Amino acid sequence: MMTPYPIRLRRPKPEDAAVVCDLVIACDVEDFGSPDFDLGELLDMWSGFDLQHNVWVAENAGGQIVGYAFLEEDSEEKLFSYGFVLPSARGTGVGTALLTAIESRADELASASGRDKRLQNVVPTLREDAQTLLRTRGFVPVRLFKRMSIRLEAAPAAPDLPAGITLAPFLPGVDEQDLYAAYIEAFADHWDFAVPGFDTWAEQIGRPSFRPEWWLIARGRDGDIAGFALGRMREDTLYLNQIGVLRSFRGQGLGLALLQTAFLKAYAAGQPNISLGVDTSNPSGAFRLYEKAGMRAVYEVTVAEKTIQPGSPA
């Protein structure tokens, strides 16, 4: 049954979190076949969002939450957004209403700064209706990302670390500055990378779900960071947010060793499911590396973009 009009947008309240999480999970199941989200992740995200300006929920005439969207101010010139519409409410204008709100907020930010903003939005590649909506609003596809996963049916082999490399978990209060510098260096040549301020980057360390044992740091003989694998344990999956190897240590198998170490730790903790996202055009060969480790693509999303100029119509 289609959701009746009118659609009302409002700001989320803390008590909305569980309903919004269920909505996102319903979208994942519909679009990808299985959920890829949990309440802890939503609460982590909301802890860093400007809920009063950059997040919306959409209600139908009966007061049911049927849509959810957010916008992140990634850098001085880039904005990132994502919207979700309950499958039973698709085709009723919810997506259009959310996208209009996102664009209006982007226009406010562009006007306040006096500079153009690149507004990005993400949709499942196979959702033709969502792709069409973005095209009609002037968005152009710019990148494809795949979610890759593996389920370990047996204990993985021990990693083969390059000579002189040691691995250890992240030490809070000790490793922050070194890891921040290594993160910037490792990802400097990645597509669309924007350098975050230290305080912004470090916010993730203070989130409720953060566990230092799932952040692995590789160091060379001189003690400098050579690479890292930064993960978050969800209810049913270890999700690897970033795997990075500094340029001077590439080509030695360190990326694969970091990945295999994460596999081994997850399996030992009773968690056989591991997942990550990858830019399919990454020049470092990350997609091939993950395939070599036994991971397989389970779905794909498209990043589309448009330029918002100061004072442009929403």
CATH number of 68's domain: 3.40.630.30
Q: Are residues 104 and 191 both part of a single domain?
A: no
Q: Are residues 188 and 66 both part of a single domain?
A: no
Angstrom distances, CA of residue 24 to CA of 18, 94, 97, 213, 237:
10, 14, 17, 28, 17
Neighbours of 249 (CB within 10 A): 20
- Residue 203, in any domain of the structure: yes
- Residue 267, in any domain of the structure: yes
Q: What is the mean pLDDT of residues 92-97?
A: 96
Q: Are residues 159 and 261 both part of a single domain?
A: yes
- Residue 178, in any domain of the structure: yes
Q: Which amino acid is at 49?
A: F
Work out the burial of residue 151: count CB atoms within 10 Å of its CB; fewer than 13 is exposed, 13-18 middle, 19 or more buried. Answer: exposed
In this structure, of 32-41, 132-141, 218-227, 256-265, the range with the lowest mean pLDDT score is 32-41
Is pLDDT at 105 greater than 80 in this prediction? yes
Is pLDDT at 4 greater than 70 in this prediction? no
Q: Tokens 């470090």 label which residue?
A: 202
Question: Where does the pLDDT of residue 1 fall: very low under 50, low under 70, confident under 90, or very high at 90 and above?
Answer: very low
Q: Which two tokens stand for residue 8?
A: 């009302």
User: Phi and psi (nearest 5°) for 149?
Assistant: -150, 165
Q: Are residues 125 and 215 both part of a single domain?
A: no
Question: Where does the pLDDT of residue 55 fall: very low under 50, low under 70, confident under 90, or very high at 90 and above?
Answer: very high
Q: What is the dihedral of CA 241, 52, 302, 22, to 10 degrees?
A: 70
Q: Are residues 167 and 135 both part of a single domain?
A: no
Q: Are residues 110 and 214 both part of a single domain?
A: no
d(CA 233, CA 257): 19
The CA-CA-CA angle for residues 98, 51, 54, to 5°, reads 45
- Residue 111, in any domain of the structure: yes
Q: Are residues 140 and 182 both part of a single domain?
A: no
- Residue 278, in any domain of the structure: no
Is pLDDT at 285 greater than 90 in this prediction? no
Question: Percentage of the chain with pLDDT > 70?
Answer: 97
Beta strands in the chain (DSSP E): 8-10, 55-59, 65-73, 78-85, 117-124, 140-151, 166-169, 215-219, 225-233, 238-245, 273-279, 296-308
- Residue 69, in any domain of the structure: yes
Q: What is the mean pLDDT of residues 203-211?
A: 89
- Residue 297, in any domain of the structure: no
* pLDDT reported for residue 236: 83
Domain range enclosing 96: 8-144+302-308
Neighbours of 147 (CB within 10 A): 17
The CA-CA-CA angle for residues 22, 87, 274, to 5°, reads 50
Contacts (Cβ under 8 Å, ≥6 apart) of 165: 218, 219, 220, 226, 249, 254, 257
Q: Can you tell me whether residue 269 is helix, strand or coil?
A: coil
Omega of the bond leading into 6 within 30 degrees of 0 (cis): yes
Is pLDDT at 209 greater than 90 in this prediction? no
136 sits in which H/E element: helix 128-136
In this structure, of 119-128, 136-145, 206-215, 259-268, the range with the lowest mean pLDDT score is 206-215
Q: Are residues 55 and 120 both part of a single domain?
A: yes
Q: What is the mean pLDDT of residues 79-103?
A: 97
Q: Are residues 116 and 165 both part of a single domain?
A: no
Q: What is the pTM of this model?
A: 0.90
* pLDDT reported for residue 314: 52
Q: Which two tokens stand for residue 140?
A: 């152009």
Q: Can you tell me whether residue 78 is helix, strand or coil?
A: strand
Q: Are residues 12 and 140 both part of a single domain?
A: yes
Q: Can you tell me whether residue 170 is helix, strand or coil?
A: coil
- Residue 243, in any domain of the structure: yes
Domain count of the fold of the chain:
2
Q: Are residues 241 and 138 both part of a single domain?
A: no
Question: Where does the pLDDT of residue 245 fall: very low under 50, low under 70, confident under 90, or very high at 90 and above?
Answer: very high
Q: Which two tokens stand for residue 277?
A: 């996202």
Q: What is the mean pLDDT of residues 291-299?
A: 95
Q: Are residues 114 and 53 both part of a single domain?
A: yes
